[in-house]
Structure 1
Amino acid sequence: MALVNIEGIDPWLTEYDACEKLFREIMEQLTMRDGEPKTSKVYASLSANIRLRMKQYTREVQQLKCKVEEASKLKTITFEEAERRTRQVEQLQSKDIQLQKLYEPRTNDYMSSRTSLLRAGSSAFADGGTTSWAADDDDDKPLNVQVSVNDLMSHQERVLIEQDKGLEELCKVIARQKEIGQTISNEVDHQNEIIDDLADHMDRTDESLINKTQQVRNINSKDRTCGYWIVILILFIAIIIVSFV
């Protein structure tokens, strides 16, 4: 993904937006493909184009993940930003798994696929190594295909491997989300403790301020009373002096 580092724009965010845009384009092509007969040239062309774009999407998501890990190790971004970008990458990985399932919808049902393949393989072996079966299309047009037992078993193995990979990736994403949730919960608890301590400190400060204010008022009141008595005493002495004179 070749990008220009424009001043004021984070290249990582630009690459993330490009991945989001690529995902939407792939979804649009999948929708277009579903509207075409599976035996048509348009369907085959769209499938080939979608497969290439899906590989590009997977590669670019992996690049984003590596850049987040590198930036986190070099401390070029904060811990909170690294966590946020990690969650964004995990969302992209979940979308990658979604694209894989939409591209090959027949691999979604694990048990059904396995049972049908084994049953077909048994029939092929009973017929002498090959079998002829119909694949149902959206427009109910049968397509006769000669499939050997080895091809069936190879296809079954590929399906199982892809499903195992998808489940492993999904398990990693779920585990990571759980870890992030626990970290957030611990941070919230810590912040609540800090807020409680701050509230207690503010209460003590308010109480101390009230007491100090009352003391200042008392001292001020005493100072004023003392001044009055001094004036009265001076006047009394003046009266006595005048009387004797």
Structure 2
Amino acid sequence: MAPDPWFSTYDSTCQIAQEIAEKIQQQNQYERNGENTIKLTVTIRTLLQNLKDKIALLKDLLLRAVSTRQITQLEGDRRQNLLDELVTRERLLVASFKNEGAEPDLIRSSLMTGGAKRGVPNPWLFEEPEETRGLGFDEIRQQQQKIIQEQDAGLDALSSIISRQKQMGKEIGNELDEQNEIIDDLANLVENTDGRLRTETRRVNMVDRKSTSCEKSHDLPVWSFLQKQHETEMIHRGS
């Protein structure tokens, strides 16, 4: 796996900050001994500018990684905390170099060895979690990369679940469409059958009316014949 450019830049930035602290301590020793510090001063100024540029690059890389979702929000917050600590160190180094806000010995002690015991915060001795305490930069980076991989695996599993649910939703939708088509076909069949039934009913009624008319027309001659026959019999009986 290719190294993360953010952590590579972070490691080199921390090394520059450490080098600046050592140079400031050396400069203070030269001043106490009355030695020339011009060369050291130029070196420290160059290193401070380099540190500033590196921090700006880290900010840009972090913003780009978060905005393009190359890292999770949790990892982005973790890297932002590391970056904030670097910014704090830079400010203390600049203050120490300019001898602002504290005596040189006190600032040097804070930067290099146990200044926190004398009431001055030590930027190099920030509280670490148990998981990273005593680990080097490479080991911390590997541990963070492992965490990122685990988070990515969790996101992949979640994405797989969502994909399956989406597929199930599509299949349910297709089945509902098929059932709706069947219902529409049944409705059309019932409507057509009902229309045919109405047509056949009208035909039956028409045939029935015609049959009734024919029966009545055939019954009239028979009745006249019987009436005439009865009148003839009555005449014969009278004579």
Provide TM-score, normalisation by structure 2. 0.40
Q: Which has the larger radius of gyration?
A: 2
Q: Which structure: greater strand fraction?
A: 1
Provide TM-score, normalisation by structure 1. 0.39
Higher relative contact order (CA 8 A, sep 6+): 2
